[in-house]
Amino acid sequence: MNQSVLTHFSFSELWGPLVFFITVLLSVIYLLYVGPLRNRFYESEPVKTRQKILFISGLFTFYIAVGSPINAFSHHVLFSAHMLKQALLYFIMPLFFYLGTPSWLIRPLLNSKFSSKFLSFFNQPILAMFLFNSALSLYHFPVVFNKLMEIPFLGGLYHVLLVIASFQMWWPLMCPVPELDKLSNVKKLGYIAANAILLYPACVAIIFAGNILYDPYVNAPQLFSFLSPIDDQQLGGIIMKMTQEAAFVVTLAIISARWYRKEKHDDSIEVAEAVYDSPNQLNNY
């Protein structure tokens, strides 16, 4: 590692103490709401330790992406760090948050006309799929990427919109409220496949580009001697696609497990009904 590169960054730039404080604060607030303050919510139920760990993992994924050296290096040093940051924010963090959110924590939003309409808009699978993948692919057009990196405010705003779009993309798959879960299990499998395909062209274009596509990394300081700028760019494309694929594989496993449990539960009910009806049928003879 080129230690001289690190001298260009302060401690706060590398480790984001403010972001860490926000992460810890949000963790405490979450634990309060699912713990001592849980009784304030109608029909609230105890939250499993596993679910709490998943939600807090989502918060610390946010810190790793935005408050760690990954964020510092992502701007003008390593394109691969930039892509890792995005992959964490768009494919890992939302998954953790949805898995860690109990349904009763969201249901009160259905009582508000505004939030109910927002959730109705949010819960549009086709729109969510095309909005997120189009926005993410557009972002990686060199002319768009370079302009957004030149103007930090616009770049930050675009990232916020992408995070929101990523949560919308994940909603049809990991919706924590059963009554808002619109897609069947079979459709969810197709939805995952379609999302994987839609991002494929952008990642392939980055991986197999024969030149540096993005201006901020053309003359970037080389943090690792073995990682040239073009190798760094290719690594970035691989990281983005592999992270998406890994997140979707985990999601497939979760959906399949839930599907199996539901089928098993339905079969148990059918058997119980058959056993219950048998004596009644015998009495009719």
Residue 285 lies in a domain: no
Residue 280 lies in a domain: no
156 vs 181: CA distance, rounded Å: 31
Residue 281 lies in a domain: no
84 vs 95: CA distance, rounded Å: 16
Residue 51 lies in a domain: yes
**What value does the mean pLDDT of the chain take?**
91
65 vs 29: CA distance, rounded Å: 21
Nearest to 243 by CA among 74, 68, 95, 57: 95
Query: Is a pLDDT exceeding 70 seen at residue 122?
Result: yes
Residue 11 lies in a domain: yes
Query: Is a pLDDT exceeding 60 seen at residue 151?
Result: yes
Which tokens in the block code for residue 82? 């930039």
68 vs 278: CA distance, rounded Å: 64
In the chain, where does DSSP find H-type helix? 3-6, 11-15, 17-33, 49-67, 69-74, 79-87, 93-99, 103-106, 113-122, 125-139, 142-150, 152-174, 185-207, 229-283
Strand, coil or helix: what is 191? Answer: helix
96 or 121: whose pLDDT is higher? 96
The stretch 161-166 carries a mean pLDDT of 97
131 vs 258: CA distance, rounded Å: 27
The predicted structure's pLDDT at residue 4: 72
The stretch 122-129 carries a mean pLDDT of 94
The stretch 141-158 carries a mean pLDDT of 96
The stretch 197-222 carries a mean pLDDT of 93
User: Tell me: the pLDDT tens digits for 35-87?
Assistant: 999 999 888 899 999 999 999 999 999 999 999 999 999 988 999 999 999 99
The predicted structure's pLDDT at residue 242: 98
End-to-end CA distance of the chain: 86
Query: Is a pLDDT exceeding 60 seen at residue 270?
Result: no
The stretch 193-222 carries a mean pLDDT of 94
Number of domains composing the chain: 1
280 or 124: whose pLDDT is higher? 124
Residue 272 lies in a domain: no
Query: Is a pLDDT exceeding 80 seen at residue 262?
Result: no
pTM for the predicted model, two decimal places: 0.89
The predicted structure's pLDDT at residue 83: 98
Residue 282 lies in a domain: no
Q: Which domain holds residue 67?
A: 3-263
Strand, coil or helix: what is 52? Answer: helix
Query: Is a pLDDT exceeding 80 seen at residue 147?
Result: yes
Query: Is a pLDDT exceeding 70 seen at residue 105?
Result: yes
- At residue 105, φ and ψ (nearest 5 deg) are -80, -25
167 vs 89: CA distance, rounded Å: 10
Residue 53 lies in a domain: yes
Q: Is 16 left (phi over 0), alpha (psi -120 to 50) or beta?
A: left
The predicted structure's pLDDT at residue 189: 95
